[in-house]
Amino acid sequence: MALIVQKFGGTSVANPDRIKNVAARVKKYRDQGDQVVVVVSAMSGVTDGLIKMAKEIMPLPNDREMDMLLATGEQQTIALTSIALHALGLPATSLTGAQAGIVTDGVHTKAKIKNISPKHVHELLDGGNVVIVAGFQGQTLEGQITTLGRGGSDLTAIALAAALKADLCQIYTDVDGVYTADPRIVKSAKKLPEISYDEMLELASLGAKVMQSRSVEFAKKFGVVFEVRSSLNDNLGTIVKEETLSMEGVVIRGVSLDKNQAKVTLVAVPDKPGVAARVFKAIADANLNVDMIVQNISHNAGMPATDLSFTVDKPDLLKAKLVIEGLKGEIGYKEVLADEKIGKLSIVGVGMRSHPGVAAKMFETLALEQVNIDMISTSEIKISVIIDLEKGEQAMRALHEAFLG
């Protein structure tokens, strides 16, 4: 008998038939004698629809109220999933994040899990129930409902698997696993049997959209091995785990394109100590995550000034621009530009550490495609470039061809 955490994303619970499908899968594991904890997302499109309605009323709605609103999406799905299990004759109980003991900090819309007390979940499991937990949500110690950031149901599943010391954690989605590139864009993309946490983390945070990156960080930190697989068939998925020696033999594991970034540029910022600190302190105080930062050398010896660009998630662009505009009097830049039409294209692989010439090959490939590089950033196992969004998919296919055939 194993304790299994199974997470089903929005497309896997998109309608009553899909939910019945989930219930049938859960039943298979139950019939083998396993204990099952199911984590579900909102039905696909529901969270987006709720956000859209709120924004129709006001462009920047209050974060606490957004959590109150968005948490309802998952609450629908847990009840429906529980009902689908009852229909198959299985005892099942649905729990909100709070009822499952998920305690978070108070940063609304991006809360972090502080701890999980899964006592109630254990009791229900021991009583023979399938337990269905609402993904993406938790509660502060003061009883405020919070959400964990978009895609946060993955984090709920991984964190629950860690807290429950589950034997197995399966992330069910609408793709067969993690691919060398998005197969909808790159026809020759291949499914990976396994991938390291670090590579997965880069791919997730680079917009490969397989999983929420915070959930992969969490899995790495707590050593939760998990499988990404499809809820629509019985194919084996991709195992995500600690790096092994054989993984280094492959130079590039995957190529990804993030279309969800936007760029903010401060034009002609005075080049003197403390300016960057002031800018990014203000951005951090607004709880905005910055990804890439590029600052140029300054010209004009008398009054040195430079351009400073950084990227944020697209939905945060308006907030970021407002924060920067608020600093205009204090730091005295010339103007602020916001650009949504960018894409972040990246190649990832732990093998990069031991194989030289990877960057040169990437830039050559882009040059041949007439793709202009706007910003560059690198880590030990990744190279990312910001390019024109319009050329994103074409450039992605070219890189995949060059590195992965």
Which residues bind to ligand ASP, rule: CB under 6 A?
9-10, 41-42, 47, 73, 135-136, 150-153
Does the footprint of Mg ion cover residue 256 (CB under 5 A)? no
We find the least distance from the C-beta atom of residue 148 to ligand ASP, in angstroms, to be: 8
Angle at 159 between CA 208 and CA 68, to 5 degrees: 85
Identified binder of Mg ion from the candidate list 9, 97, 135, 149, rule CB under 5 A: 9
- Nearer of residues 163 and 255 to ligand ASP, judged by Cβ: 163
We find the least distance from the C-beta atom of residue 51 to ligand ASP, in angstroms, to be: 9
Q: Among 293, 291, 300, which Cα is nearest to 265's?
A: 293
Which residues, other chains included, contact 93 with Cβ-Cβ below 8 Å and sequence gap of 6+?
Answer: 82, 124, 129, 130, 131, 132
Measured distance CA(372)–CA(392) in Å, rounded:
11
- Nearer of residues 90 and 155 to ligand ASP, judged by Cβ: 155
We find the least distance from the C-beta atom of residue 151 to ligand ASP, in angstroms, to be: 5
- Nearer of residues 73 and 237 to ligand ASP, judged by Cβ: 73
We find the least distance from the C-beta atom of residue 74 to ligand ASP, in angstroms, to be: 6
- Nearer of residues 211 and 402 to ligand ASP, judged by Cβ: 211
Which residue is listed with tokens 């190649």? 347
Which option in Mg ion, ligand ASP, none does residue 152 bind, with CB closer than 5 to 8 A by kind?
A: ligand ASP
- Nearer of residues 237 and 349 to ligand ASP, judged by Cβ: 237
Amino acid at the residue 7: K
We find the least distance from the C-beta atom of residue 293 to Mg ion, in angstroms, to be: 28
Instruction: State the residue number with the nearest CB to ligand ASP.
Output: 153
Which residues, other chains included, contact 363 with Cβ-Cβ below 8 Å and sequence gap of 6+?
Answer: 373
Is the CB of residue 153 less than 8 Å from the CB of residue 74? Answer: yes
Burial of 53 (0-12, 13-18, 19+ CB in 10 A): exposed
Site for Mg ion in 157-216 (CB under 5 A): none
Measured distance CA(196)–CA(403) in Å, rounded:
19
Site for Mg ion in 296-335 (CB under 5 A): none
Q: Which residues pair with 172 in a beta bridge?
A: 8, 229
Stretch that binds Mg ion, among 5-13, 59-67, 109-117, 137-145 (CB under 5 A): 5-13
Which option in Mg ion, ligand ASP, none does residue 159 bind, with CB closer than 5 to 8 A by kind?
A: none
- Nearer of residues 153 and 205 to ligand ASP, judged by Cβ: 153
Measured distance CA(197)–CA(29) in Å, rounded:
26
Stretch that binds Mg ion, among 95-103, 144-152, 258-266, 313-321 (CB under 5 A): 144-152
Which option in Mg ion, ligand ASP, none does residue 136 bind, with CB closer than 5 to 8 A by kind?
A: ligand ASP
Which option in Mg ion, ligand ASP, none does residue 112 bind, with CB closer than 5 to 8 A by kind?
A: none
Q: Look at strands 305-313 and 342-348 and give their pairing.
A: unpaired
Tokens at 198, concatenated: 């670090």
Measured distance CA(275)–CA(8) in Å, rounded:
45
Question: What crossing angle do the helices spanning 317-325 and 275-285 adopt, rounded to 10°?
Answer: 130
Tokens at 329, concatenated: 């009097």
We find the least distance from the C-beta atom of residue 150 to Mg ion, in angstroms, to be: 7
We find the least distance from the C-beta atom of residue 102 to ligand ASP, in angstroms, to be: 14
Measured distance CA(115)–CA(104) in Å, rounded:
7
- Nearer of residues 10 and 392 to Mg ion, judged by Cβ: 10
Cα Rg for the chain, rounded, in angstroms?
Answer: 23
Which option in ligand ASP, Mg ion, none does residue 73 bind, with CB closer than 5 to 8 A by kind?
A: ligand ASP
Stretch that binds Mg ion, among 4-12, 31-39, 245-253, 269-277 (CB under 5 A): 4-12
- Nearer of residues 116 and 336 to ligand ASP, judged by Cβ: 116
We find the least distance from the C-beta atom of residue 319 to Mg ion, in angstroms, to be: 22
Is the CB of residue 343 less than 8 Å from the CB of residue 259? Answer: yes
Measured distance CA(128)–CA(123) in Å, rounded:
9
Which option in ligand ASP, Mg ion, none does residue 150 bind, with CB closer than 5 to 8 A by kind?
A: ligand ASP
Does the footprint of Mg ion cover residue 41 (CB under 5 A)? yes
- Nearer of residues 10 and 392 to ligand ASP, judged by Cβ: 10
Phi-psi region of 89 (alpha: psi -120 to 50; beta: other; left: phi over 0): left
Q: Among 58, 35, 48, 44, which Cα is nearest to 12's?
A: 44
Q: What is the dihedral of CA 258, 262, 268, 272, to 10 degrees?
A: -70
Binding site for Mg ion (CB under 5 A): 9-10, 41, 151
